[in-house]
A and B are shown apart, each in its own frame.
Chain A
Amino acid sequence: MVRRPCVAQLNGRRAECDAATYTCGNRFIPPITNRALTAFKRTRSFFRVTWPWLRVPFWLGLGVGIGFLLPYTLILSARVQARFNDLVFSVPTRVYARPLPLAVGEPMKPDALKLELTFAGYTHDKRGRVPGTWTGGGDHFVISSRGYAGPEGGELPQRLRVTLSGDTIRALTRVDNGRSVKLAHLDPARIATLYGAEQEERRIVQLKQVPGLLVAGLQAVEDRDFKHHFGIDFSAIARAMWANLRAGQVVQGGSTLTQQLVRNLFLTRNRNLVRKVNEALLSMLIEAHYSKGRILQAYINEVFLGQRGNQAVHGFAAASEFYFGRRLQTLRPQEIALLVGLVRGPSYYDPRRFPKRALTRRNLVLREFHTTGLISEAVMKHAQAQPLGVVAKPQLARDRFPAFMDLVRAQITTDFDEETLRKDGLSIFTTLDPAAQIYTEKAIERTLDGMGKRGDDLQAAAVVTDAHNGQVLAMVGGRDPGQPGFNRALDARRPVGSVIKPFVYLVALAQPRNWSLATPLQDEPVNLRQPNGKVWSPRNDDHVAHGEVPLVDALVNSWNLATVHLGMQVGVDKIRRFLESFGLSGVNPNPSLLLGAVDLSPAQVAHLYQYLASGGHALPLLAVRGVLNAHGKTIKRYEVRSGQGEYHAAVQLITYAMQQVAVRGTAHSITDSGLGWLHAAGKTGTSDKQRDSWFAGFTGDRLAVVWVGRDDNKRTGLWGSSGALKVWRELFRKLPTEPLQLDDGSQLQYAWINPQTGHQTDAQCDDARRLPFISGYAPTEHDGCFWQRVRDAFHHDDARNSSANGTP
């Protein structure tokens, strides 16, 4: 035996080998038999012959394999993990109106309730059993609420019977047990969406929240071997190829759910070989790294299921709201089948555009559900007989009320940056009252359209608030309310005219020693030198000086001369400081302020009037009630709990005077038009040369400020009463509201007054008027009417004699 020295690398070290002992270092190397040696030699000689031709493709292949494919797969794997480990979808922020409160005694009209239901995406059907549906009408409604989570907690779904009578909720009971309900809320309508760079509509759900039929049905229709394959299903591809060959066109796809997910998450829409290879590689990698449940959950949240304008609907939860206006958990088999059927082609089977096509597809899917044992034949047949049940208008509001949204943004931008708002899936609960908003829009449209040609160039803006707490219920920024742009309600500052007067009178009445509603004022011409040297000589609108008039009449009739005299006595600076205490700056310090020569926006006027409407509480105008994060946790709540009001008694006196404005003053058309039962308090305003028409007025629970004018600031030819007041009246004819009751408790006392002198008098005296006073400040002087009674007695006798003589 020839000892052949050899060298080998063992454990990284050079080692001497011994062929005789079949050892190399201290390792045993198996002997090679002669036969094997021969075969080896033959192979080696074969490779020697073929190697010159094989070596190029071999090294090329190996190069590609090691140099490209391996790193490429590693890169893809890293990409898959990076995307999937922290699979965060950009979820838009949804903005909601306020939940509609239903309580016995609350004002509500049948039309307003229908409007609220429609706006909140409730559908009318025969039974009103499924959450998100209602039945009835007139004075009786049965509503199946959907429940919601809001900043104040939220509510579970319930089926409610609502009985109305006299524009008020008279009864509210649960249908299931007949028990009366104290307070319930309808889930709020969605009014806007704040999208990120991509307008993807999505609502994330966990797999356990998804109905079982959807999970199983999706696999039955799209990927039956989902549980077993490794990302690619060759048998499905073969089946699809065979079906397509037989049909002569593409009728079936062989893609697994994983492949479909890969396409949506990682790939472009190009169809080429590289993309196919990538799809296969990525699918296998996802299957290697993640559980089937995780993959399915991602698919359910990602799959594209519809489009509206630029808004793309992704995921079954968002699609459920988009097509049925309901949450995924409440869907019926036929509705689940429709959504599963849409996976094949959301545009082609769009149930709104192609209902027949969608119905056929849905029924086919229902059959698949039955064939795979997911539903019984009876359920299938019943479901197939049902209509599509798709809501006509999807709840995908992008920005339905731009003027109101300006206010929302102004309130929340201090707490949330733009990026958070666009992708963190927040839910913003606002104070918007959909019925109030729509009625305000309509009131403006009808009033201005009703003015004919004169109304063509007119614009208008309005703000409606809750009189008690300052929550903004509606805001209209222009004649075309859906059009974003210049928001006149917030940004158009115009002279307010006589709308300012109640505040001049309020500052006076807050000094009850000096002024009361009965105090005589001089409505006489006045000449005042202004800082620029010019003499200012205001006049009354009727060009008449009325002499000595009671303070209440001066406000009721909006007499300028009496107001200027009063304001000069009170002090212009005091009134300016009062206005500036509400955050206004640069208020006109000249006497012309007394007649409203101050530029304010409708929102600013509403802020001022909120003080009167809430009984002396300076309340900020709130548009947002709270914000929930993507997990439904309240992260901000905006709430104002006011303490004791200021100058409450004086505010009540002003409110009384403003109620008189609506009865016998410049806004008497409120009473004349049948709205007297509201006992509304208000004030008209007209700026210099009739450029701006204003009205601000409130009932027991609603305050509305309306401005009508022109963008070019030209004359409108309108008074406060012939422009803005008409809009206000039109609004309050529809708006559910409650009458205003003066709080004349312990702080006020009433007395009969002689309007000529401002002294107390007897109730039976001519012209005697009963007026409220701050307790303890009623006039102490007393005017009798002895001679008046004597005269009346003679007149009475004369009248009797005339009657007896038969003369007319």
Chain B
Amino acid sequence: MSKSVRPVLASTVAACLLAACASAPPAPPPPSPQAIVASIQAAGRHDDSALRVTPLRDAGTEALVDQAHKDAASGQYPAAAAQLDKALQDEPHAPDILQDRAEIAVRLQHYAHAEKLAQASWNYGPKLGALCARNWQTVLEMRKLARDSAGVASARQHRDACRVKGVVRM
């Protein structure tokens, strides 16, 4: 190899390496648990279904759930999780409590558990409206973290199907 070719080759290799760096940027950092929960709750708020079903809650467990909400609001997530677990002992199929617990699980970064709880909430829940949207947004976020694009697409489809359109009368 002649001397004149070497610098050209070196610069070409360097250029290729730089190009390679430019075409594969580093993966963005995963969203924080707070951001994930915010997106889950936003999905519930944005659901404008014409029909909403409020799951029944026993008066006895109401206090536990209220306490859990207070704990969560003050950042005491393990305490909130404990309150909700107690509530679920009394009402293991309460869909709203299951979803609340799923969101606390997200905050505690127990992602697999969160997805399982959201799925259970959907199974026992009304399968429509705001709660349904929160269920599937949770699954969607968890699939995103797992880099499962098919799972994300499926969850998005389910989430959009939660919305019940109103009757057009005129």
Contact = CB atoms under 8 A, between A and B. Distances in A.
Interface of A: 153, 507, 510, 574, 577-578, 581, 618, 633-637, 639, 641, 646-647
B170 A510 contact: yes
Contacts of B1: none
7 contacts: A153-B59, A577-B169, A581-B167, A581-B168, A618-B167, A637-B56, A647-B169
A574 B170 contact: yes
B170 A578 contact: yes
B148 interface: no
A578 B59 CA distance: 41
Most-contacted residue by chain A among B52, B54, B56, B59 (CB, 10 A): B56
A636 B170 contact: no
A661 B66 CA distance: 51
Given A618-B167, A647-B169, 11 more contacts: A507-B170, A510-B170, A574-B170, A578-B170, A581-B167, A618-B169, A633-B58, A634-B56, A635-B56, A636-B56, A647-B170
Contacts of A577: 169-170
A436 B52 CA distance: 31
B61 to A, nearest CB: 11
Contacts of B167: 581, 618
Contacts of B170: 507, 510, 574, 577-578, 647
Contacts of A646: 169
A454 to B, nearest CB: 40
Contacts of A636: 56
Nearest to B50: A643
A646 B167 CA distance: 11
Interface string B52-84: 101010110000000000000000000000000
Interface of B: 52, 54, 56, 58-59, 167-170
Contacts of B56: 634-637
Contacts of A633: 58
Contacts of B59: 153
A510 to B, nearest CB: 6
A507 B54 CA distance: 32
A581 B59 CA distance: 37
A383 B22 CA distance: 100
Contacts of A507: 170
Nearest to B58: A633
Contacts of B169: 577-578, 581, 618, 646-647
Nearest to B168: A581
A516 B52 CA distance: 34
B168 A634 contact: no
A577 B59 CA distance: 43
Which 4 pairs from chain A and chain B are nearest by CB?
A581-B169, A581-B167, A578-B169, A637-B56
Nearest to A635: B56
Most-contacted residue by chain B among A153, A633, A636 (CB, 10 A): A633
A141 to B, nearest CB: 30
Contacts of A574: 170
A189 B54 CA distance: 28
A709 to B, nearest CB: 29
A634 B168 CA distance: 34
B170 to A, nearest CB: 6
A99 B45 CA distance: 35
B94 to A, nearest CB: 13
B109 to A, nearest CB: 36
A636 B52 CA distance: 15
A507 B56 CA distance: 38
A704 to B, nearest CB: 24
Contacts of B54: 639
Nearest to B56: A637
Contacts of A581: 167-169
A574 B168 CA distance: 11
Nearest to B169: A581
Nearest to A646: B169
Nearest to B166: A646
A647 B167 CA distance: 13
A634 B54 CA distance: 14
B166 to A, nearest CB: 9
Nearest to A574: B170
Contacts of A153: 59
A581 B169 CA distance: 6
A510 B168 CA distance: 13
A605 B52 CA distance: 25
A651 to B, nearest CB: 12
A647 to B, nearest CB: 7
B131 to A, nearest CB: 15
B157 to A, nearest CB: 26
B14 to A, nearest CB: 65
A646 B56 CA distance: 28
Contacts of B52: 641
A752 to B, nearest CB: 29
A382 to B, nearest CB: 41
A577 B168 CA distance: 9
Contacts of A641: 52
Nearest to B48: A643
Contacts of B168: 581
A637 B56 CA distance: 7
A390 to B, nearest CB: 36
Contacts of A647: 169-170
Nearest to A511: B170
Contacts of A635: 56
B163 to A, nearest CB: 15
A70 B56 CA distance: 53
Contacts of A639: 54
Contacts of B58: 633-634
A647 B58 CA distance: 37
A581 B170 CA distance: 9
A153 B57 CA distance: 11
Nearest to B167: A581
A636 B167 CA distance: 26
A646 B168 CA distance: 10
A583 to B, nearest CB: 9
Nearest to A506: B170
A459 B54 CA distance: 41
B32 to A, nearest CB: 34
Nearest to A650: B170
A618 B54 CA distance: 19
B169 to A, nearest CB: 4
Most-contacted residue by chain A among B58, B59, B169 (CB, 10 A): B169
A254 B92 CA distance: 52
A554 B58 CA distance: 53
B52 to A, nearest CB: 8
Nearest to A580: B169
A639 B54 CA distance: 9
A466 to B, nearest CB: 20
A182 B127 CA distance: 38
A577 B167 CA distance: 11
Contacts of A510: 170
Nearest to A636: B56
Contacts of A634: 56, 58
A641 B52 CA distance: 9
A506 to B, nearest CB: 9
A51 B62 CA distance: 80
A634 B170 CA distance: 39
A618 B50 CA distance: 11
A581 to B, nearest CB: 4
A622 to B, nearest CB: 15
